[in-house]
Each structure stands twice: as C-alpha cells, then as structure tokens.
C-alpha cells in the first residue's frame, strides 16, 4: 500500500523556524497609492436629496392641505422615491415639522424662547419695545401662518398633530402674556391678553393679508395701533 506524501505545515521547533521559508510582502514602489475612502460626496448628495424633499413639502402642504399632501406626492415633487421620504423623515407629521422648521425665521425655536431672545426687558423705551414686538410678530407670521390651517386639519386626523397644535397654541399664549407685560403701563382690562392673543393669531393675519389683500405695511400699522389700544390702562 502506497503511503501518502505529507507536506510540511510549519517549523517543528524554534530552531527550525529560523530557517523555515517565509512569505515576505514586498511593496511595489511603482504601484498607485490607495486613497482613503471619502464619503463626503455621498453625504452631500444625501443632504441635497433631503433638502429637495423638505422644499417640496413646504410647497405642497400650504397649497394642498394636510389630506391631499401625501408621502407619494411629496416624493414625486422632489423627484425621489416614497421609500426614501419615509426612511428619511418617517411619517407626515415629521415631514410637516421639517418643512415648517425650514421656513421658520428662528430656525424652529419655540415661540416663547424666540420672543425672550429679543431681551426686550433691557430696552427702556416702551415705544421701541412695541415697534420691535410688531416686527417680531410679522417676521413670525409671514412664513409660518400658511402652515397653521394644515396643522388644524392634521390635528383632526392624527393625535400626534393634535399635541403639536396644542403645544403651539400654548406657546403663543405664553408669548402673548409676556408681550402684554412689556408694553402695559398700568391696570389692564381683564380681556387685554385675550384681545392681543386674537390680534396676533395666524388666522387673523391670513384673513387680512392674503384674503383681504392688505400689504405687510398696512398690517403692521394696524397691529401696532390695535395692540396699543388693547393694553391701554383702564381709568376710573
């Protein structure tokens, strides 16, 4: 019977290891240098696609409303797949919030914090404070008011949107209370805060500017006068 030939598998001892043939990797000096992988291009492309989706949502939600604006319609407008929109944002609520943040003048900062950031307590002139408040209201409403009816529609169908809408209204009330405090100069009518709240609502802005055709200048002139009248101290 023929015996099988056994091939050596390694040195039998430390001494053998000194003479055991080794495979040594020799670098080719003429070989091209391997460059490290750069993912910045892919990240930039992904961010560009994301921004296209946000822009499409910001265009469709105010014009089409909550119900008609679907993940599929936003994807079609942005030129991407619905799966990409869902993977990136989740659902319609997250997509709407991303669209609103992209249009917000204060980068999505909650209204009370954005109002407090003006530090109007440091301004000694009451008339200057009132001017800056009116400017702040207009800067808030111009980009954001068109989204408010969408939030109302969504709140009727989605409990999560109801929570978002309630939080927005609570924030508006807190900012209104601070506003009235900053411009009042004496005892107020008990309805003063509610009147100013109504004056500065998005629905009021939408009625007067887009629907009735008021210019922003006319709106701010009216708003300043109306707030001033609402916080006038009561006498007697």
Average pLDDT of the residues in 212-222: 98
Tokens of 18: 């000194």
DSSP H/E element including 62:
helix 40-68
Q: How far apart are CA 139 and CA 128, in angstroms?
A: 16
pLDDT score for 186: 92
| pLDDT exceeds 80 at position 84 | yes
Rg (CA), the chain: 32
User: For residue range 99-140, what is the model confidence (pLDDT) as tens digits?
Assistant: 999 988 776 678 889 999 999 999 999 999 999 999 999 999
Average pLDDT of the residues in 173-195: 95
Rounded to whole angstroms, what are the CA distances from 209 to 29, 91, 222?
Answer: 72, 31, 12
Class level of CATH domain 43-103? mainly alpha
Q: Which of 149, 126, 156 lies closest to 207, judged by CA?
A: 149
Place of tokens 């009451």: 126
The domains of the chain are located at 43-103, 106-236
| pLDDT exceeds 90 at position 5 | no
């Amino acid at each position: 019977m023929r015996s099988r030939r056994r091939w050596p598998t390694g040195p039998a001892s430390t001494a053998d290891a000194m003479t055991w043939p080794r495979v040594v990797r020799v670098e080719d000096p003429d070989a091209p240098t391997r460059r490290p992988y750069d993912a910045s291009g892919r990240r930039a492309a992904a961010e560009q696609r994301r921004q296209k989706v946000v822009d499409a949502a910001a265009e469709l939600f105010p014009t089409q409303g909550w119900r008609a604006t679907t993940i599929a319609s936003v994807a079609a407008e942005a030129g991407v797949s619905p799966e990409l929109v869902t993977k990136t944002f989740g659902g319609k609520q997250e997509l709407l919030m991303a669209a609103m943040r992209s249009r917000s003048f204060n980068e999505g900062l909650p209204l009370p914090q954005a109002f407090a950031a003006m530090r109007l307590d440091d301004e000694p002139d009451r008339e200057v404070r009132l001017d800056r408040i009116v400017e702040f209201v207009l800067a808030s409403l111009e980009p954001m008011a068109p989204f408010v009816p969408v939030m109302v529609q969504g709140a009727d169908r989605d409990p999560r949107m109801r929570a978002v809408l309630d939080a927005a209204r609570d924030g508006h009330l807190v900012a209104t209370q601070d506003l009235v405090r900053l411009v009042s100069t004496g005892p107020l009518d008990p309805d003063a805060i509610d009147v100013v709240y109504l004056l500065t609502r998005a629905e009021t802005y939408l009625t007067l500017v887009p629907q009735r055709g008021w210019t922003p200048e006319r709106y701010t002139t009216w708003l300043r006068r109306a707030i001033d009248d609402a916080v006038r101290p009561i006498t007697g």
